[in-house]
Chain A
Amino acid sequence: MKNKLLIISSAFLILFATSCTDLLETQPRQSLSSGVALTDFTGLAALQISVYSRAQQFGYYGQPMQLSPEVLADNYTTTNTGGGRYVNERNNAPGVGFNIWLANYAGINEANFIISAVDASNGTAVQRNNLKGEALFMRGLLYFDLMRVYAYFPNHVVGGFNQGVIMRTTPTDDVSKADFKARGTIAEGYAQIEADLTEAFNILPVTLPTGTVFRANKSAAAAILAKVYLFQEKWAQAEAAATNAINNKPASVVLRTPANYVASFAAVPHPESLFELDYLQNQFSTVDGVNNSLYSLTQPAPAGGFFALRATPELLASFEAGDVRANMFVTIVGGTNNGFVYSTKHNETKGNFFNNVPVIRLSEVYLIRAEARARQGAAKTADAQADVQLIRTNRGLPAPVVEVGAALIDLIFDERRRELNLEGHRFWDFKRRGLTIPKTAGFTPVPFNDFRILFPIPNAQVILNPMLTQNPGY
């Protein structure tokens, strides 16, 4: 009997041992191994989709990049129906406004994967070139936004705090690469952004075969680059880049006129968009529309929306008679928000509760060039006046621009406010000049030397990484 037992158990053991290797074979079905994902061009192209998707998120261009700069400054304030939304931003409470550190670096890492692997992938030369251009464009944009939020601009630094953000330009494909790094300097950050956007401009076509202004393109790269130069007060480069943007714009992009300006915000894409984030209905679950859409937050939606933000009296007072942009606003009659004024810029023409989000429009590029020219002194005053004039004429204000010097620069700033309000510009326009952030009546302005001008890096990151310095005051 004992022999039988021995035989049986031996049989089990042999059986078991010989089938061990394939016995436990199991493969995931909704993921790919890294080897496949990185060598196949379609895998890399799908990574780029993820990078675009990151820009769309409700924590980034989907909401705070558009709204926070307005309510942190003096263009917008809260209503009585927002359920607490943007109340802290209105109050300039420490640390609120932007929290893009982690998501932007995740997108940067994906772009790094593409940039490092695309040349060796199995796409055609044109495909590889275009994808690389898109990845460089998005990496530049993601880094620029990190720099805007977490660092000072080069010429306006408080207390000598010249730290930029952590610079990573190679992918984290192994745990050993995920080392602790210190923040680079402001100069290093902008150098990388300029390099990325310049190369993107050089290699991208006017439009990609697969997309118009919904994907990176030559003009968009130049436009963002112009903005990057402007914010650094590199006037001549800003002017040149803006000119590049204008000269390379897709044929479909044209300035709107007084007759069709208001309607343009219902068009998809916005006819002035050089780069616009495209949204689809399935990116808005039933609750996202109500809770997170720009439309729900900025307009009294008929069904369940929040309507959290209204235009300040100061913004409304800035419009001159005849300006068609004033027609974007509607005054509420009756109810708990009686007398409040809202902007119809973000609406729901694309689908329930949502529309696309323009990241940069042609009118902004003209205003960038106008400012860059005006700053270069008398020699370029006429050119600057012409750029402003072009925008004003197209907004129903045909009177000739006669301002010069500081008055011209002030006019351009006011023009930016009227043209770009609710598109995420106001806070930056003061920060980049080292000025106090103004607030609507009843709220305390934030002086430029206040620590709240910079936003805090997530504290967990600072605790984790001993080389990472938190911004002052946090």
Chain B
Amino acid sequence: MKRLVTLSFVLFFAFCTAVYAQDKRVSGRVVSSDDGTTLPGVSVVVKGTTIGTQTDIDGNFSLSVPANATTLVFTAVGFVSQEQNIGTRTVFNVRLVSDAVSLSEVTVTGYGVPQKRDIGAASSRVDGKQIENLPLQSFDRALQGRAAGVQVTSQSGQPGGAINVRIRGIGSISAGNTPLYIVDGVQVTPGGVSTQSSSNALASINPNDIESMEILKDAAASSIYGAAAANGVVLITTKRGAAGKTKVNFSSQVGINQNFQRYDIMNASQFARLKFTAFENRGLNTALAVAEYGDPNNPNLPTTDWVDLITQNGITQLYDLSLSGGDEKTTFFISGSYNNQEGQFIQSFFKRGTVRLNLGHKISEKFQVNTNISFNASRRFGTIADGNFVNGIQQAYLTRPDIPAFQPDGTFTQSPKIAAGYNIVQGIMEEVRTSNAIQSVSNLSLSYKITNNLTLTGFVGVDFLDNRDDNQRPASIPVFAGSGGTSLVRNDRSLDVNTNLTANYNKTFGTRHNLNILAGAEFKEQEFESASATGSGFPNPLFRSLSNSSPLAVAGFFTGYKRAGVFGQVKYDLDNKYYLTGTLRYDGSSRFGANQQYGLFGGGSATWRIKQENFLQNFTKLSDLKLRVSYGVVGNDQIGDFASRALFGAGGSYLNQNGIRPSQLGNADLTWEEAATTNLGLDYGFFDNRITGSIDVYRRINSKLLLNNPLPGDSGFGGISQNVGKVQNQGIELQINTVNLDTRFGLKWNTSFNITAQENKVLELTSGNNKIGETIVVGRPLDLIFTNRWAGVNPADGRPMWFDANGNYTYNLVAADASVQGNRLPKFFGGFNNTISFKGLTLDVLFQYQYGNKAFSVDNQIFDFGGFTANTNQFAYILDRMWTTPGQITDVPRPLHEIAHANNANGFASSLQTGSTRYLFDASYIRLKNATLSYSLPTSLVNRIGGGLRSIAFSVTGFNLLTFTKYPGLDPEVPIGFNQLGNNPQARTILGGIQIGF
């Protein structure tokens, strides 16, 4: 690898001395034709070359162009690109016309230098402005509801917690489905490493630093990323400075996080009634129930609201400061932010500070250096749902309401009547579960213009994460008393380096033929290592350092992989009417088996801008029409780092000796999964682009799927990973953007709507098998739910009934009675965004929705158990709906204390709690995800204030404001593939903020 880097530097300097023709300087200003406001960040490029710059925050630019340059091209997000003849002019004042269709043509940083996006690609874009000042701890949350084909679900309501992003469905069964995230060219590793808190590595980037996010959905667009591209690619570009006066932006927001999704559980009187009834029904002495749970006829038994005790209105504060500016040679963007979010549950928070420096410097007209340096430190406290001794949320709902949390003397109540003997309030208050992370996503690139047409760029990017977890379980909590308290310290370090060298050739032949060629080589290496130590036996709960303990356990873990590839891409267009793109990449990974270590990936696309044809020139109502077709084959390398090797790993210990055991069988043929995507797309614009949008139809076939080919367990192995399966995803994505109102007196109303319908089907599994387990079946979608069928309550005697395999009523289920009862994938999902503005006042409202998915709620399984267990609280509705009299039609069986309803025939019956469709629910929902009302002071007023003030705006933002759903669990945002079990639900967040610009 070193050789590669060395070579690239040698090459740079070798060409430094070359001499070229005389240049001239041009400058100017770019404004919007809509309202005359200046446009920052507009790309200004000499046509057919890579020579270019961007406008500064006032829309100004200055550029040195070769003497023979003929045309300047002005390109900006959301505007029709414009060409201006240079001739002898040196000043260019340009008005750009807004154009939603051109969203697919923005410049993005794919490899090193800015280049024009392949307009034949199926891609979605989220602009940084859309997510500015939202309380998003990580940028991946911003994709929710805003991009067609992208499904985002939250795994935890913990601030800064983990989320799932799926681009165009689930293509892999056992390898990862996570997209490839690239931040300013750095391939970052998503996911969380903390064992103590739900965490998300992507929270290392301050969302306010983001200029744009580009989601590459089809294989033609993503194929340049080869073996890593099968799950789609998300390209994140952070803000850069522009020449001109230094701009300062400050924003501050303060608000609260609230718990708003709750279960209705019993108070002490209701619980006493339930237990009385459960004793009575079983023929037990009800006096014992009264003695234990209180008199059910007393409506005022003292009640402890455990959930109330563990929730809070968490204070949220966000502060953000950025400076951008520069001169002709150097531009910079500097930002710092501080984010302190207390969760909806006590003792949970997310704190983060970030700093960033994005610097660009022209060493000479030929030599340019860019660097993006970001650094952040974050601290999380994650007591509640993520690996506490017991799940905190569930425990609070479970604990008997008649037990006080505190004794009269203020100490925590200790009682065997509390489920698991664990006072959750004490547990949360006294156990420490923190994660402290330091992260940096940084890069350095050097580019050299060999000629005006050819640029060579060397790039190195680093994604570094250092995390320290602390878990302190003091002896003052009774369950930990036996060990004298324990303390775990765990250090994780992940270092991810990718480096590449690219050559970019850009040339216009004649006036009609535009050619762009990119060639490059890339190497990537990731290493992850962790070490942990646990001590126990502290002298008293005040001591928590390992040095005060006796050693209990140590552990270490290492993993890593390497990837290397070469790639080339050719783009050609004729008259801006016909576009062709072709990409090839030869990629290899250490994860793949020796027989299949390298593979060839690629794709191509063709685009026809029909509107440019003469026969459409007279259709003036049609402003744009573009047909795209693409096909490509890419890989999914998200398999285990050493999945192909036959290994003997650590296996138990005995008599203080550590054992080894065979951990997996080897498979030298193990390799990447392959995704072949065909995409057909149509971009349209009508009525001067008042209505714009796109329709994409796709089919993605993922083959060579890594499946654990199950082996008979008596062989000593559960299975072996083999590339055998095949899954098809097909779908349609529709995006419509409309300008509903655009009045002369300033009232404007924009709507953006997207909907994605997907169909997922398993095509092939391991040879000779048409199913794996019961939930993956050929011809059916992935993520099936396999459970028993609930038949309701027998009206005659209140016993729970199920259907057996033959559809007859049964009280006693056997394994063969369960069957497939739906799946967790939605039929369609999307988002709906409205922006209404009048003068400086803007209201932005985002809804997200999904329809047709089912979710299994384990919570309901536990909290609707009819008084079976002695010490667990239940849903309040049981008292209203439980079976009491023969002939009664209801869905809640007759409560029985601590015993299953007997089956008369042979004396035993299935427990009510047995998994069945009783706990399976439709999880469709529509959620008002986000509403922001903001007001910018008029420029005239701001100017009068003076002091260099440029703008002042005030805003109020609400998150998770309304939810429409029939789902009875805590939160319908259940990630695909998960059961709802004490999930940390989404919080409601209300923020007020101010944004000031100088």
Contact = CB atoms under 8 A, between A and B. Distances in A.
Interface string B6-50: 010001000000000000000000000000000000000000000
A16 B521 contact: yes
A212 to B, nearest CB: 10
A54 interface: yes
A23 B661 contact: no
Interface in A256-299: 278, 280-283, 285-287, 289-290
Contacts of A32: 647-649, 660
B656 interface: yes
B505 A34 contact: no
Interface size class of A (residues with CB under 8 A): 35 or more
Interface string A204-217: 00000011001100
A110 B870 CA distance: 44
Interface in B519-565: 519, 521, 523, 536, 552-553, 556-564
Most buried by A among B598, B667, B871: B871
B587 to A, nearest CB: 11
A461 B648 contact: no
A47 B661 contact: yes
Interface stretch (B145-153, B199-207, B449-457, B880-888): B449-457
A163 B145 CA distance: 58
Contacts of A87: 898
A195 interface: no
A303 B654 contact: no
B717 A37 contact: no
Contacts of A302: 481-482
A406 interface: no
B647 A34 contact: yes
Nearest to B529: A29
A106 B654 contact: no
Contact of B590 (A24, A348, A444): A24
Contacts of A159: none
Nearest to B471: A286
B557 A30 contact: yes
B603 to A, nearest CB: 21
B466 to A, nearest CB: 19
A303 B414 CA distance: 10
A50 B652 contact: yes
A109 B662 contact: yes
A280 B717 contact: no
Given A16-B566, A20-B588, A175-B667, A92 B645 contact: no
A435 interface: no
A56 B654 contact: yes
Interface string B745-787: 0000000000000000000000000000110000000000000
A282 to B, nearest CB: 5
B4 A15 contact: yes
A307 B909 CA distance: 25
A102 to B, nearest CB: 4
Nearest to A467: B712
A24 B419 contact: no
Contacts of B659: 46-53
A283 B737 CA distance: 60
B503 A9 contact: yes
A335 interface: yes
Contact of A26 (B451, B536, B590): B590
A458 B871 CA distance: 31
B646 A34 contact: yes
B450 A34 contact: no
B716 A172 contact: yes
Nearest to A279: B654
Interface residues of B, number: 100
Nearest to A452: B908
A53 B653 contact: yes
A172 B552 contact: no
Interface string B400-439: 0000000000000000110111100000000000000000
A303 B553 CA distance: 22
A81 interface: yes
B578 interface: no
Nearest to A301: B482
A87 B899 CA distance: 9
Most A-side CB within 10 Å, residue of B652, B653, B657: B652
Contacts of B654: 49, 52-53, 56, 278
Nearest to A93: B908
Nearest to A46: B660
B38 to A, nearest CB: 38
A56 B656 CA distance: 13
A178 interface: yes
Contact of A29 (B417, B503, B558): B558
Given A20-B588, A31-B649, A53-B654, A474 B482 contact: no
B479 A1 contact: no
Interface string A38-68: 0000010011111111101000000000000
B650 interface: yes
A50 B651 contact: yes
B712 A461 contact: yes
Contacts of A382: none
B107 to A, nearest CB: 23
Contacts of A13: 566
Given A28-B642, A168-B714, A178-B720, A352 B483 contact: yes
Interface in B907-966: 907-908, 911
A460 interface: yes
A321 interface: no
A180 B712 contact: yes
A357 B244 CA distance: 78
Chain A CB within 10 Å, residue with most, of B483, B501, B521, B657: B483
A181 B712 contact: yes
Contacts of B3: 15, 19
A105 B716 contact: yes
A24 B564 contact: yes
A449 B767 CA distance: 40
A450 B908 CA distance: 12
B658 interface: yes
Contact of A37 (B451, B481, B660): B660
A474 B817 CA distance: 11
A26 B562 CA distance: 7
B286 interface: no
B869 interface: yes
Q: Which of B553, B559, B714 has the most CB of A within 10 A?
A: B714
B641 A30 contact: no
B597 interface: yes
A26 B641 contact: yes
Contacts of A161: none
Contacts of B642: 26, 28, 31
Given A19-B3, A47-B661, A464-B710, A289 B416 contact: no
Contacts of A49: 651-655, 657-660
23 contacts: A9-B503, A11-B7, A26-B560, A26-B590, A32-B660, A34-B662, A43-B648, A46-B658, A46-B659, A49-B654, A50-B659, A50-B660, A53-B654, A91-B899, A93-B911, A94-B812, A175-B720, A181-B714, A303-B481, A304-B421, A304-B479, A460-B773, A463-B774
Given A50-B660, A464-B710, 20 more contacts: A30-B650, A31-B648, A32-B647, A32-B660, A46-B660, A93-B900, A93-B911, A94-B908, A106-B713, A172-B717, A180-B712, A280-B653, A286-B486, A301-B482, A302-B482, A304-B422, A305-B482, A461-B713, A463-B773, A474-B815
Interface of A: 1, 4-5, 8-9, 11-13, 15-16, 19-20, 23-26, 28-34, 36-37, 43, 46-54, 56, 80-81, 83-84, 87-88, 91-94, 101-102, 105-106, 108-110, 112-113, 165-166, 168, 171-175, 177-181, 210-211, 214-215, 278, 280-283, 285-287, 289-290, 301-306, 335-336, 348, 352-353, 444, 450, 456, 458-461, 463-465, 468, 473-474
Top 7 nearest A-B pairs by Cβ distance?
Answer: A53-B652, A109-B716, A49-B659, A304-B479, A50-B659, A178-B715, A303-B481
